């Protein structure tokens, strides 16, 4: 099959969060299975160009329709971690992708609507006919709409669309001018198409993607239930229910080529479940790097975007709870909201001289690897979590997840005391209520086990390390979906 992955992120070149890992990991798995895969991305100025091999211009002067005129656009190709990629680079006074940031601009909807249109225009002009176009998140929600409304009548007939929702908290809700921009008619504002169900007169890009895609997935079975049946759907519940026969949850995998302590190039000591002595050496290395004292204490870590979704208040609370309970605390967090950043900068200043605590505010891929390897526990107290990758990575590195039981966290972390499964299947600690009491009960139990029953804690680590959340299984689920929609 020829599969085009159209996304605003792909690790390791353009990464803000898990979306990047998923696009790259799934693409690699499909390539390993013999499929022809191309990822299509915007050509951001802030990408990690050191992670792109063989970058070259392959198409000049693709004039992409934009309102009543066209924008000159070039297309580049290159390889990102073994995945062939195409990069869309427009030239206009708007500088869509030359702003030093991936997201967070007032015209984000216009930027990514343009990206979606340019991708289709490129397929059309070059005669490419992917069997599957796999779109991701609101940024590409308009693509299936434009495919069926504009490009299929022009002859782009082969592609079928799989659309994956990574987080429905962000839906791309905008005014009807976006339809003008994309060359789509105002009649699409109707409620059965792109008209938003909560805000009258607004266009909802993610809703459009769900309505027009041949199949929509989200990134864990639990989150699929939650967004269909609870307020976590943020208004999409009626649309998901109306299209329930072409909707399902597929648990994300991770790419063990990048995320495995046996082969990880970013950690000083490799190790495996058969011999985890390297993990203790990595714990020492982490302490040295972050100037923590070398004492007989567990390290509780957080590697996260600092966003309300991730439970920033509970993270703040956990710092002091861990320190008061004979543990060390390490945080690597990157925020986009100034107030949250400011809060953590203040905590950092307050705890600066504490030899048991280090808060690193920013994004650092290499340090993240060392933290997973050196930590004993990884805390993920999310308000909601579509899938979550950090708990899956943590388990592979023998760091025991302590997580709120929501979305994909509930599908992957099985409580050491309460899970309805034998001890060998239990992998961490979970809590139900999004409050400090819930957090303290789960983290307190984890710290208690580490201090009082090290043998059982060790077993719990190994249980997680044995789990297989590689793309092998979920890759097959996606191929089944692709096969299914190719014949419908
Ligand atoms: P989300 O996509 O909501 O951010 P996920 O758990 O799905 O959350 O994916 C997070 C990914 O981003 C993981 O690969 C994690 O290691 C990485 N990550 C998150 N924050 C940082 C950071 N500050 N520095 C480095 N990597 C980070």
Confidence of residue 407 (pLDDT cuts 50, 70, 90): very high
Ligand 1 binding pocket includes 389 (Cβ within 6 Å): yes
Q: Is the CB of 408 under 6 A from ligand 1?
A: no
Phi-psi region at 400: left, alpha or beta (left = phi > 0; alpha = psi -120 to 50): beta
Reading phi first (left if > 0) and then psi (alpha if -120 to 50, else beta), residue 483 is in: alpha
Residue 13 pLDDT greater than 80, yes or no: yes
Query: Helices (DSSP H) in 310-364: which residue ranges?
Result: 312-324, 338-350
Q: Is the pLDDT of residue 248 over 80?
A: yes
State residue 473's pLDDT score. 87
What is the average pLDDT across 453-476?
96
Alpha carbon distance 468, 451 (integer Å): 28
Rounded Cα distance between 12 and 4, Å, is: 18
Task: Check pocket membership of 348 for ligand 1, CB cut-off 6 A.
Answer: no
Kindly state if the Cβ of 332 falls inside 6 Å of ligand 1: yes
| Interacting residues of 257 by C-beta distance below 8 A, sequence separation 6+ | 28, 263
As a whole number of angstroms, the distance between CA 137 and CA 386 comes to 12
Digit-coded pLDDT (tens) for 229-239: 999 999 999 99
- Output the CATH code of domain 2-254+472-487: 3.40.50.2000
Judged against a pLDDT cut of 80, whether residue 127 lies above it is answered with yes
DSSP letter (8 states) at residue 149:
I
What does the pLDDT look like over 179-196, one tens digit per residue? 999 999 999 999 999 999
H-type helices in 351-470, by residue range? Answer: 365-374, 390-396, 407-412, 436-452, 454-466
Two tokens at 87?
């990069």
Among protein residues, the one with the nearest Cα to ligand 1's atom 26 is 365
Pocket probe for ligand 1: among 18, 223, 391, the residue whose CB has the most ligand atoms within 8 Å is 18
Asked if the model's pLDDT at residue 364 lies above 90, the reply is yes
Distance (Å) from CA 388 to ligand 1 centroid: 8
DSSP structure class, residue 298? P
Q: By alpha-carbon position, which residue is closest to atom 9 of ligand 1? A: 18
Q: How far apart are CA 441 and CA 410, in angstroms?
A: 17
466, pLDDT greater than 80: yes
Q: Can you tell me the mean pLDDT for 342-348?
A: 96
CA distance 129 to 300: 49
Domain ranges of the chain: 2-254+472-487, 277-468
Mean pLDDT within 40-64? 98
pLDDT of residue 96: 97
pLDDT score recorded for residue 214: 98
Closest C-alpha among 177, 240, 221, 236 to residue 203:
177
Residue 23: in which H helix or E strand, if any?
Answer: helix 18-32
Instruction: Report the pLDDT value the prediction gives residue 78, as an integer from 0 to 100.
Output: 98
C-beta of 18 in contact with ligand 1 (< 6 A): yes
Q: What is the pTM of this model?
A: 0.95
pLDDT of residue 11: 96
pLDDT digits (tens, 9 = 90+) for 282-308: 999 999 999 999 999 999 999 999 999
Residue nearest to atom 22 of ligand 1 (CA): 363
> How far apart are the CA of 390 and the centre of ligand 1, in A?
7
- The predicted structure's pLDDT at residue 488: 76
Query: Is residue 60 scored above 80 in pLDDT?
Result: yes
Q: What band does 335 get if pLDDT is binned at 50, 70 and 90?
A: confident
Q: Output DSSP code: residue 148.
A: I
- Give domain 277-468's CATH architecture: 3-Layer(aba) Sandwich (3.40)
Question: Do the first three CATH levels of 2-254+472-487 and 277-468 match, i.e. the same topology?
Answer: yes
Instruction: Please give the span between the terminal C-alpha atoms of the chain, in angstroms, as a whole number.
Output: 16
Structure tokens at 485: 């929609």
Q: Is 264 in the pocket of ligand 1 (CB under 6 A)?
A: no
- pLDDT at position 329: 98
Ligand 1 within 6 A of CB of 61: no
pLDDT at 470: 94
Ligand 1 atom nearest to CA at 22: 7
Give the span between the Cα atoms of 184 and 254, in whole angstroms.
Answer: 37
């Amino acid at each position: 099959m020829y599969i085009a992955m159209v996304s605003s992120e792909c690790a390791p070149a353009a990464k803000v969060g898990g979306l990047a890992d998923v696009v790259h990991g799934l693409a690699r798995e499909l390539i390993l299975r013999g499929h022809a895969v191309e990822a299509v991305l915007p050509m951001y100025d802030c990408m990690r160009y050191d992670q792109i091999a063989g970058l070259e211009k392959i198409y000049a002067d693709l004039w992409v329709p934009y309102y009543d005129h066209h924008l000159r656009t070039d297309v580049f190709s290159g390889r990102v971690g073994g995945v062939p990629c195409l990069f869309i680079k427009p030239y206009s006074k708007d500088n869509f992708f030359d702003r030093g940031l991936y997201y967070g601009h007032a015209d984000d909807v216009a930027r990514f609507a343009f990206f979606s249109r340019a991708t289709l225009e490129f397929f059309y002009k070059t005669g490419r006919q992917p069997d599957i176009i796999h779109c991701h998140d609101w940024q590409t929600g308009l693509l299936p709409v434009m495919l069926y409304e504009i490009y299929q009548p022009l002859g782009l007939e082969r592609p079928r669309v799989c659309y994956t929702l990574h987080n429905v908290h962000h839906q791309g809700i905008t005014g009807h001018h976006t339809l003008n921009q994309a060359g789509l008619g105002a009649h699409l504002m109707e409620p059965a198409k792109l008209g938003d169900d909560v805000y009258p007169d607004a266009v909802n890009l993610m809703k459009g993607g769900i309505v027009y895609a041949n199949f929509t997935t989200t990134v864990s079975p639990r989150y699929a239930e939650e967004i269909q049946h609870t307020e976590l759907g943020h208004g999409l519940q009626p649309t998901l229910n109306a299209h329930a026969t072409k909707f399902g949850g597929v648990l994300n995998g991770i790419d063990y080529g990048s995320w495995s302590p046996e082969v990880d190039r970013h950690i000083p000591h490799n190790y495996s479940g058969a011999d985890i002595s390297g993990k203790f050496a990595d714990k020492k290395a982490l302490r040295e790097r972050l100037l923590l004292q070398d004492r007989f204490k567990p390290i509780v870590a957080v590697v996260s975007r600092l966003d309300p979704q991730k439970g920033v208040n509970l993270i703040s609370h956990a710092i002091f709870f861990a320190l008061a309970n004979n543990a060390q605390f390490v945080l690597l967090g990157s925020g986009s909201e100034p107030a949250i950043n400011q809060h953590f900068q203040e905590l950092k200043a307050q705890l600066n001289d504490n030899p048991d605590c280090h808060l690193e505010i920013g994004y650092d891929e290499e340090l993240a690897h060392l933290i997973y390897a050196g930590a004993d526990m990884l805390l993920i107290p999310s308000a909601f979590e579509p899938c979550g990758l950090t708990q899956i990575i943590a388990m592979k590195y023998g760091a025991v997840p302590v997580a709120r039981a929501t979305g994909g966290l509930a599908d992957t972390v099985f409580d050491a005391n309460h899970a309805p499964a034998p001890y060998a299947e239990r992998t961490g600690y979970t809590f139900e209520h999004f409050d400090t009491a819930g957090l303290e009960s789960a983290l307190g139990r984890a710290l208690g086990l580490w201090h009082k029953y090290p043998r059982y804690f060790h077993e719990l680590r190994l249980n997680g390390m044995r789990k297989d959340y590689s793309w092998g299984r979920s890759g097959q689920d996606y191929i089944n979906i692709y096969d299914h929609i190719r014949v419908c």
